[in-house]
Chains A and B, each alone.
Chain A
Amino acid sequence: MSVDLNEQYDKIFRYCYFKVRNRTVAEDITQETFLRFFERQNKENDIVKEMHYLYTIAGNLCADEFRKKQSEELTDDIPDEKDHEDDIITSVALGSAMRKLSDEERELVILRYVNEVPVSVLSRLYGISRFAMSRKIRRIISFLKKEFNGEEEYHYEKKAEESHTGIV
């Protein structure tokens, strides 16, 4: 069984975009990732290994890009991280809670719940056991859950208040 390349293209692109925060660069890295993946595509027939391989290449290319950026002189057209991050994180639902997470935690959330990367792939990527990875994710989720419930309550109260004061 092989990965669905159409689906993975979007996911790798998202991952790269999250890392480099530049659409053109992210797409370049995504395509480079797939070119390298195609070179050795026939060597694996395991979905977990293939996904691990894709994300490893993408991660390494993003790291190279980051290093390249660091060595270059800063110019005005280099996007400001915060602005772009605000572009990714919307203000709806868990937006504020997401901002409270660290970069690594946010990356994990994107990989696990937006890209739906299996824990076994994540644990390989991060070099920790599946159990440690599960617990790490569970901790993040329990934080988000708490925030989510809080926000829901807030919205509920706000709605009640609005209906009470006649604002709809």
Chain B
Amino acid sequence: MKKRLKKAIQESFDFPEAAHKAEFLREHGVPAEEEIRRHFIPIPLRITAAAAACALAVGLWNIGKDPALRLHNNSDSSIITTYEQGTSDSNISAPDIPVMTTTAVSQSVITITTASEDTSSNNAMTASTAAASAMNDIENQSNNTAPVISQPPKKTNKVPAAATTAANPGTVVSTTVSANSTDEYERSIIMKKVSLFLSGALAANSFIIPAASAEYKLETQQYKNEKPYLEMMDEGKLDTDINKDGKFDLIDCRLLDWYTTREFYEDTVLDITPEIIANIEKIGDYDGDGEISWFDSEVLMHHFMLNNDVSYDYCDPTFYDPDFVPVPLDLGGLTYVANATADYMFAESFFCRMNNISAGYTALEKFIDNGGMDLDVNEDGKVDIKDYLYFSVFAEERPDNIVLPENIRERVREEYFKIPHMETCFHNVRTSIRGFISGYFASHLTLMPEYFENDFYDSIVNGSSEYWPGSSLKQGAIAMGIESDEYEEFRIDEDLFKECLVNYYMDVKNGRAAAPDVNMDGRLDEADIKVSSIFFGDKVMGNTAAESELPENVWNNFANNCDFSGNGTSGDIYDIMIVQVYLYLTDDSALISSSANVNARTFSTGMSADEVYDMLADTDIDRSGDADSDGKMKMNDAVLVMQTISNADTYQLTSKGRFNADVNNTGDGITPNDALGIQKALLGLEP
């Protein structure tokens, strides 16, 4: 939601202030806000201070123990400690000696440790090693106290996970090393360790705190074909009470499913009456296509799933038939259920459909929370990012590119297959389940920025980055509302895009707007599409005109003079898509010659050509009559249209063909009149 809209909503209400809040809360032992603020030392500061104090205290303790070390006579300065060590006990003035300085700066703490040259290296090492040991202690402590998940695997160039809570924004850690003794290198390493430790505490400010009550975002895209009917059901315009018992529940879904699949299964335990069958035939054709089909059943099931808290109980055949006994048969790697009754099939179909629209997240979450799955597959006593990786990779692992160790694979498999129907449906739902698992981990892990990088996972399992675990976790985090979707500006609202495109198309057709010659070469061809693709890439990468491979004038033209959508912004995703789709629709001959499979083309937003044609099917955009999509309108296109109508099982049109062939009364779908229209056009009787 846009911030402006949210602000506008909030500004629309004017509530009075509570008059007796402070005294009421004080009476009941709740400190007032100001008091909390006064006493609150931010956790990051506490950690930073504790870290610095540990390093300092342990260092001092070691210095004190070593007679060779002398604390410089500046005891009044609690935050500056200088170790001095020379060949004699005499003090050596600072300007004469190269020094090694490690400085950690935060909002509240400044610790400067200065070690002098020559033989001080051992002492510096002692202090630093102790600090490193303190670091380990804290790390361990943090592991012990973390209830679920926390410590990322170590990478040499990564910050250790000692700190599990946040530090301050704006804190800086700097390490300056200047030494010229033989121990220089060693000391440098040691002091870097201290620095690393402090950095660990400080850099934790980049941790992402999981939302306590995140929701899994359900994309309407996932059920877009059913959307109009689901909305009508929500509004009560479609009757969902199949058995007329006064309420809509799972039984209604089961009854409609029985009706649409009754020819496949003779068995049923349902109490079917002629009245129910009559009612199904009366109200069951939700999409109004003249038959009561699996689609109608699916719409009803999705309506149930979207309005009820679903669980895996509904996916258990014994929920419907207590006597059901599954008999799995493993036939060469594929698992079947031998006694697949109608109840079994309904339970399985409920499971698959639930996952296909992401309503299955709730069920999976409940299942995990109730102990249905053990996420600690590497059995190290904690659920962490490694376990996430194993689950994530397993779901997509290809037989020709196995990267997980065998024992881990077995454990993950075992856990995944505790989910009902996974043995038979794994390949159908694995992508969805992987997404849910990502969402689950994203909302339960303390996330670190590198968790979203695919390469990071190679340090845990070599080659695992090929399965995009970082991207998947990111998507999970976005779905849970934890992470913002930085690519949102590159997505389109299909309804809006359709409206913009049709308006633009009509404007060009009627001479009110110029055609999208974005490269300004006087021609409309694939070069314009290419320019739009490069421009899109620049937008995603944040490139400027100077950084783009496009000529600067072309880039600037796209950025400033190409508001084809009329939304006030030139060169946004709507304009880019309009260029691509417009050119594709109006002159695809050049594209056909340059592309082996035009129908498989996808546009910058990832929309396929088929999706574009389906989207535009009911618009007034001109049609070519080229039903077989071979680039020309011929008599065989008219024949193909007739064949499609008369024998739909054998002859089918592609989305593009269906779009092209709808020449008569454009937008009403394929009819015999379209075949007639094509013939007339070929004979020159119609334009």
Asked if A27 is an interface residue, CB under 8 A from chain B, the answer is yes
- Contact mask for chain A residues 120-131; partner B; CB cutoff 8 A; 1 contact, 0 none: 110000001111
Q: If the complex has contacts A113-B10, A129-B307, A144-B9, are A5 and B30 also in contact, measured as CB distance less than 8 A? A: yes
Interface SS of B by simple majority:
loop
Asked if A135 is an interface residue, CB under 8 A from chain B, the answer is yes
Which residues of B have CB within 8 Å of A26? 18
- Tell which of A58-66, A75-83, A87-95, A159-167 binds the partner: A87-95
Docked-complex contact A119 and B215, CB < 8 angstroms: yes
Asked if B683 is an interface residue, CB under 8 A from chain A, the answer is no
Asked if B685 is an interface residue, CB under 8 A from chain A, the answer is no
* Docked complex Cα distance between A135 and B220 (Å): 9
Which residues of B have CB within 8 Å of A90? 11-14
* Docked complex Cα distance between A119 and B480 (Å): 12
19 contacts between A and B (CB under 8 A): A5-B25, A5-B30, A6-B25, A6-B30, A13-B15, A27-B19, A34-B24, A38-B28, A47-B212, A90-B14, A94-B12, A113-B6, A113-B10, A119-B213, A129-B307, A130-B215, A135-B306, A148-B5, A148-B8
**Residue total for B at the interface (Cβ-Cβ under 8 A):** 42
Q: If the complex has contacts A129-B309, A141-B5, are A14 and B15 also in contact, measured as CB distance less than 8 A? A: yes
Docked-complex contact A131 and B218, CB < 8 angstroms: yes
Which residues of A have CB within 8 Å of B218? 131, 134-135
Which residues of B have CB within 8 Å of A121? 213
| B5, B9, B217, B218 — most chain A CB neighbours (10 Å) | B9
Asked if B36 is an interface residue, CB under 8 A from chain A, the answer is yes
- Nearest to B217 among chain A residues (CB) is A134
Among A5, A129, A130, A135, which residue has its beta carbon within 8 angstroms of that of B234?
Answer: A135
* Docked complex Cα distance between A121 and B214 (Å): 11
- Nearest to A93 among chain B residues (CB) is B8
* Docked complex Cα distance between A129 and B33 (Å): 35
Asked if B16 is an interface residue, CB under 8 A from chain A, the answer is yes
| A38, A47, A132, A145 — most chain B CB neighbours (10 Å) | A132
Interface SS of A by simple majority:
helix
- Nearest to A47 among chain B residues (CB) is B212
Asked if A150 is an interface residue, CB under 8 A from chain B, the answer is no
Question: Interface of A with B (CB < 8 Å)?
Answer: 1, 5-6, 9-10, 13-14, 17-18, 23, 26-27, 30-31, 34-35, 38, 47-48, 87-90, 92-95, 97-98, 109-110, 113-114, 118-121, 128-132, 134-135, 141, 144-145, 148
Among B11, B14, B359, which residue has its beta carbon within 8 angstroms of that of A131?
Answer: B359
Which residues of B have CB within 8 Å of A144? 5, 9
- Nearest to A149 among chain B residues (CB) is B5
Which residues of A have CB within 8 Å of B2? 145
Docked-complex contact B213 and A6, CB < 8 angstroms: no
* Docked complex Cα distance between A98 and B32 (Å): 33
Asked if B546 is an interface residue, CB under 8 A from chain A, the answer is no
Among B9, B25, B32, B308, which residue has its beta carbon within 8 angstroms of that of A109?
Answer: B9
* Docked complex Cα distance between A109 and B36 (Å): 30
Distance in angstroms from B290 CB to nearest chain A CB is 28
Docked-complex contact B10 and A34, CB < 8 angstroms: no
- Nearest to A119 among chain B residues (CB) is B215
Which residues of B have CB within 8 Å of A35? 28
Docked-complex contact A10 and B12, CB < 8 angstroms: no
Which residues of A have CB within 8 Å of B217? 134
Which residues of B have CB within 8 Å of A1? 212
Docked-complex contact A30 and B309, CB < 8 angstroms: no
* Docked complex Cα distance between A140 and B6 (Å): 12
Docked-complex contact B13 and A110, CB < 8 angstroms: yes
Which residues of B have CB within 8 Å of A135? 218, 234, 306
Docked-complex contact A132 and B13, CB < 8 angstroms: no
Which residues of B have CB within 8 Å of A97? 12
Asked if B224 is an interface residue, CB under 8 A from chain A, the answer is no
* Docked complex Cα distance between A24 and B32 (Å): 21
Distance in angstroms from B43 CB to nearest chain A CB is 13
